[in-house]
Amino acid sequence: MTRKLAVWLLLCLAGGFNARAWGVIGHRVVHQMAIYGLPEPLRQFYFGERTYLLQHADRADLRRADDPDEAVRHYINIDHFGPRAAWQMPMYWTQARQKYPADTLLKHGILPWYTEQMRQRLTQAFRRRDVDSILFYSADLGHYLADAHVPFHVIQNYDGQLTGQEGIHGLWESDLPSRFLADYQLYQGNARYLAKPQVAVWEAVRRSFKLAQTALAAEHQVAAQFTQATKFEAAYPGRLMRPRHSPAFMDQYQTALGDMVAQQMRAAAQMVASYWFTCWVDAGRPSLPRPAVAPQGPVAPDQLAQELAAWRANQLHAQGWLLSQPPVKE
């Protein structure tokens, strides 16, 4: 078994391939891209732990099955609070609590406030140089930040259910990235220090909110050329409990959206890397231990350099180096 195949199988076993936010593939790609965007010595440390970080990129979604408090951390129905709420909502939880009762806020989702709690925990983990906690919070914080970049995680009409566009959520965040990943430009540039992380995450929510309107309008236009019978697959075998769009519909919708999904993947990766970097800087730039030998075996010394070159040239997929993609037959 090749090492690439072993890593892929390990990731499959850990997560399965049913649809969740960004899809499993999307979350893993975002985390992988984020690692490349880090400065040294963080990059070397995270790269050595990439199997864990990718394996657990969707752990927060899996937790929803057991923890009733989990689901609200993945979204915010911002327009419940008014059409301009994305620009007017208090950025910090204590201020939001002064304006609204906790049960109202919890009912409509707490994503951009919960990332702040995660940011503080990751910063504390860096201060303690506690590797297990650093990895744990890095994986979860990355997940929630990536969710903030999905337009259908920030609106009430989160699956087009209010406008007869059911299924658009999974289509946008899971089916399109799975189908078109090879075509996406996946180089997002380097991490930046975030002097005001809360401003950054709310900017992401606003961008997602605006994109949701564009994505819904585009779906409406494309759907006008289809009937219900041609828009959806007649039957879809497997574990998905939702209607699945036909390949012809997916192709036209992808064309209508242009770069939108890939652009949001890049923006998510950029923000995840910037948060990880910011937490480390705020913790006083602690030295980090070299990672233990990764589960898939020692990494070739020049492997990171080769992957970085492929990332910059947008060749990760072509090289078969996206760890969440099925291995190219050798």
Site residues (CB under 5 A) for Zn ion? 21, 61, 74, 147
Q: Which is nearer to Zn ion, 28 or 74 (CB)?
A: 74
CB of 147 to Zn ion, least distance (A): 4
Cα separation, 264 vs 329, whole angstroms: 29
Q: What is the dihedral of CA 157, 161, 164, 166, to 10 degrees?
A: 110
Cα separation, 11 vs 54, whole angstroms: 7
CB of 143 to Zn ion, least distance (A): 6
Q: Which is nearer to Zn ion, 71 or 283 (CB)?
A: 71
Scored b (16 or more CB within 10 A) or e, 159-194 reads bbeeeebebbbbbbbbbbbbeebeebebbbeebeeb
Q: Which is nearer to Zn ion, 21 or 200 (CB)?
A: 21
CB of 127 to Zn ion, least distance (A): 27
Q: Which is nearer to Zn ion, 79 or 147 (CB)?
A: 147
CB of 19 to Zn ion, least distance (A): 11
Q: Which is nearer to Zn ion, 21 or 78 (CB)?
A: 21
Q: Are 143 and 23 in contact (CB under 8 A)?
A: no
Question: CA quadruple 281, 282, 285, 290: dihedral positive or negative?
Answer: negative
Widest CA span in the chain: 59
Cα separation, 123 vs 222, whole angstroms: 45
Radius of gyration from C-alpha coordinates of the chain? 20
- Nearest residue relative to Zn ion (C-beta): 21
CB of 27 to Zn ion, least distance (A): 8
Q: Which is nearer to Zn ion, 109 or 291 (CB)?
A: 109
CB of 77 to Zn ion, least distance (A): 15
